Structure 1
């Protein structure tokens, strides 16, 4: 008697999934298609006879072939398109290739190259991936999410953007869907989040980008960006629908404008399992670099004087994460806030600026009587003015102003601290506040450096300085994995801090020139360590909704491996 279930996939966990599509229909399913890796017997059973060349390859052979094809692409954007098309054909092969060349390919599938792909999204549109929710048709929200084909217990992660603050290139309308798919590619390659247990979503609320509105090919809603009460109602409806339909999922907010990002996170984080990578992920990886630097010089966070140049969502998020560590080290919240000097577009943020100070910046506004006489020209207190007065130990750049950390600023800082910690974090590379080669030279090799973009090592005298990249990918994949394993009911500040400490603990090399952070080629191991730390923190705060009897094994078992599952005929 034949088994009516056959043929089926037998997964590593023993689960058996029937294979229903046949022929070309099967090869159009990226998670089922394995192209030339189908054996002759499998081709016969699955209606593929004659539809593929007769030769059969292993997955390893396929990886070698597609890597050679990848290397032949003329530029980074062409490489991005090549990988996107491969992902649409064969997801296992895509993730196997990406995982084996992660350090090389991460800048291609994610920042900075993905920014070019997003700008060209409507012109180069080929195949939809994700869910598109329009503010003009909010009543379609549930149907749209249902049409993605996943049940309530089949979603671990939802990544969503409204596309207003994309990667330093601003409002990109419906093209922002590509940032969510790129983010999910990193989640999978770095932490083994299963590619079919996540949903990428764009909230199309219009766009203020006139280039898009005047482009005949533009595929989004063709009107100005909706704001105010109608926008808030749309966001609230979205949160409630997602929470009801996918109650076990982490809701990841991506590339919202600063005001909305802080406001949305503050509103929902206490009741929902939600996370903003631009605020919390950036903060965690920079905190990790700062912790590693402070440990290297034998100090502690509570003793630092920190200048943040660029007090937007990322900059203030970093300050908040560092402040929380200072509080855990014994300072009051008010005392910890006084350890920060934050600068925005109008210079040092002070209480006298009134309504020009955003809500999330207020805790760091300096008293006016404290800064009398600080401005060297006019009424604006600039970066050099602050560095001269404060004599900071840590300087952080999130301003997107290239060259803002001038030689005068850096040398002034280095006069007053033996090992200045300097982090020009703005992306992409041309927007960095300073180049590591200059910082090393200006400080005679004494600076401890982390950057937002990747930079080559710098030789100074007999020492080669390896530059740490404060890449959010060191944190957010492991955080998502930890939440998935523990089924955490929400993401707490302690879980964020735990993720940062886990990353910092992996950068223990004290040799001269050693980087402050682990390298991207260690992402799989880093993500596992972060996930384990997050699970333990969630359990300690009674936020875990499953019993963590063997957290190491539970984390390892949850990490999907890009291999072809066994086909049982």
Structure 2
């Protein structure tokens, strides 16, 4: 496990050595291709699951008829990683770096994950946000090889048969999108497939879920994006989006087909659905399937973790703060729900009382009862407090004097000079979280937040920002990336055999993540731990989630392991090369 240990030294003490890299993660779910014979010759080199490229030894080459098919040099996996990273760094264009990494995944799966794990802080922005946004926008043009499963409205009535075409029958995690609200970019139709592919790469690299058990799915019901409909290179259905009952029937058939094909314990993560569908689909299926919406619940958990980690800098407990949101969509209301749950437990008050410390601003101003509760979308109604009308964010700050400002509006510049200075006026260390993705949609930059608050802001963002000099010292920026949360949630569900996801999972995940932030991290300006520790962090989160699953009676993997933390580490996929004989 040289690569994993290099990326995270704590693994050296886990007592785990498995040269095959197939561990206890899902020992009742065998790796599908390993049950087959190992290919030889060119077939072996063309199979990304088993190809080791120039790392095949002389003995390998004799046994598997590879002599003459490779150059004579023999490199270790570590040397291959060094070469890959050198080539990636030589490319100035982020999209080209993304394509190079995808090409690597297509030809050598283990080397792809070993490289991503060892250089996670450098390469995660390449394989996911912010670069994946551009990749999705240009998906039809750069499309090379299909990764994942495409289910269209034309497959209605035979979704189960389409699922059966996927070669792996032991799937543990599915990430599914319909492409209607990709990041802050809007309706990208089938080109949203880049998101499930990227998310599942992180499930494996950061959470240790075997790649053979990950299935990316895009449901194509058309697109309302006229630019794509007129694009000769668009690879999806060229029709307007199907909505209403026909859409609901397709989703219902899909969810039932998934459970029929892969069982009760397959995790289905909804990703980048529009607000009009995201909330109701989550409510509809959360009691019948193992499912969650990462935009609503994952974002909430990682944001709450950042707020908890900021408390030693900001003062008080969660119950002592007042929160104001710019944005009242699925991310904003999801975060608000989890904050209210945390406040209620911390302050020993009802969730209804806790909500009174949380206010939301949308495109029409502060969400208040005076606007007419029944005229508001359902997900906003419980946040419509009794308060005089307020028309803008800056007016809301002056009226409410919040201690924390959270941006989930995808409105670049929403936190302007006046907003930031007003926050600093009412609190000596205001919390400013500009969480919108990609970078072009962030409410403000790290530099703007620190400059306009004279360095007082406790800042985090959704996209990565470089260090900023504050009072002559460099200050790092914490990135509130969902990748801190969802891999650990997934691993926790798998190791416990959870059959449902409870809201408490996201609360304990946030607490576990916040616990990994050290005083040294905070001194550098971070309210999230460095991603170099992400596999340990994921194991800690998985342990907390699994523990709560057992406590709530949702776990089916019995008996419960004596040491859940050590068990979660043993369960994580190891990308080191296997020996085939």
- TM-score normalised by the chain length of structure 1: 0.93
The structure showing larger relative contact order (alpha-carbon pairs under 8 Å, at least 6 residues apart) is 2
| SS of the residue 1:123 aligns to | helix
Go from structure 1 to structure 2 and tell me whether the alpha carbon gap of 1:13 and 1:352 turns closer, same or farther (over 3 Å shift): closer
Contact 2:478 2:527 in 1 (8 A): yes
Contact 2:23 2:571 in 1 (8 A): no
Instruction: Give the one of 243, 246, 251 matched to 2:262.
Output: 246
Distance 1:436 1:59 in 2: 37
Where structure 2 has 5 or more consecutive residues not aligned to the other structure, the ranges are 1-18, 25-29
Partner residue of 1:276? 293
Go from structure 1 to structure 2 and tell me whether the alpha carbon gap of 1:11 and 1:310 turns closer, same or farther (over 3 Å shift): closer
Partner residue of 2:475? 465
Matched, 1:490 2:500: yes
Partner residue of 2:363? 345
Shift of 1:352: 3.8
Partner residue of 1:293? 310
Distance 1:371 1:159 in 2: 42
Alignment of 1:436-447 (within 5 A): 436-447=446-457
Distance 1:117 1:464 in 2: 32
Distance 1:155 1:292 in 2: 35
Partner residue of 1:357? 376
Shift of 1:246: 1.1
Instruction: Give the one of 158, 161, 165 matched to 1:140.
Output: 158
Contact 1:173 1:207 in 2 (8 A): yes
Alignment of 1:59-458 (within 5 A): 59-151=77-169, 154-247=170-263, 248-329=265-346, 330-354=348-372, 356-367=375-386, 370-371=387-388, 375=390, 381-458=391-468
Contact 1:302 1:331 in 2 (8 A): no
Go from structure 1 to structure 2 and tell me whether the alpha carbon gap of 1:41 and 1:18 turns closer, same or farther (over 3 Å shift): farther
User: Which has the higher mean CA deviation after the structures are superposed, 20-29 or 204-213?
Assistant: 20-29
User: Which has the higher mean CA deviation after the structures are superposed, 255-264 or 53-62?
Assistant: 53-62
User: Which has the higher mean CA deviation after the structures are superposed, 308-317 or 170-179?
Assistant: 170-179
Shift of 1:228: 0.6
| SS of the residue 1:343 aligns to | strand
Shift of 1:20: 3.8
Residue-by-residue CA offset, 1:124-146 (whole Å, 9 max, x unaligned) = 22111111101112233222211
| SS of the residue 2:139 aligns to | coil
Contact 2:113 2:204 in 1 (8 A): yes
Partner residue of 1:544? 555
Contact 2:22 2:573 in 1 (8 A): no
| SS of the residue 1:139 aligns to | coil
Contact 2:23 2:572 in 1 (8 A): no
Distance 2:73 2:418 in 1: 65
| SS of the residue 1:136 aligns to | helix
Contact 1:11 1:566 in 2 (8 A): no
- TM-score normalised by the chain length of structure 2: 0.91
Go from structure 1 to structure 2 and tell me whether the alpha carbon gap of 1:312 and 1:363 turns closer, same or farther (over 3 Å shift): same
Distance 1:388 1:513 in 2: 30
Distance 1:418 1:270 in 2: 44
RMSD: 1.8
User: Which has the higher mean CA deviation after the structures are superposed, 281-290 or 512-521?
Assistant: 512-521
| SS of the residue 1:103 aligns to | helix
Partner residue of 2:16? none
Aligned residues: 549
| SS of the residue 2:144 aligns to | coil
Distance 1:320 1:99 in 2: 33
Partner residue of 2:10? none
Distance 1:562 1:10 in 2: 9
